[in-house]
Every structure is written in structure tokens, then in C-alpha cells.
Amino acid sequence: MNEMLEMEITMVMNVNKFER
């Protein structure tokens, strides 16, 4: 599995949570 991809997804999810 790609750790970088997982990290990016987590960051995006966090940003979405904060934006909403």
C-alpha cells in the first residue's frame, strides 16, 4: 500500500471536515 497516498487522503479528509 502507498503510505503517501494514505497520508494525502487523511489530510484531504481533515481539510474537508474543517471546511464544512
Does the pTM surpass 0.75? The reply is: no
DSSP states of 3-19: HHHHHHHHHHHHHHHHH
CA 16 to CA 5: how far, in whole Å? Answer: 16
The predicted structure's pLDDT at residue 1 = 62
Residue 18's pLDDT is 86
Q: What pLDDT does residue 13 have?
A: 95
Question: What is the end-to-end Cα distance of the chain in Å, rounded?
Answer: 29
pLDDT tens for each residue of the chain, 20 residues long: 689 999 999 999 999 988 77
Residue carrying C-alpha cell 503517501: 4
| Separation CA 16–CA 8 (nearest Å) | 12
Q: Note the pLDDT of residue 19.
A: 79
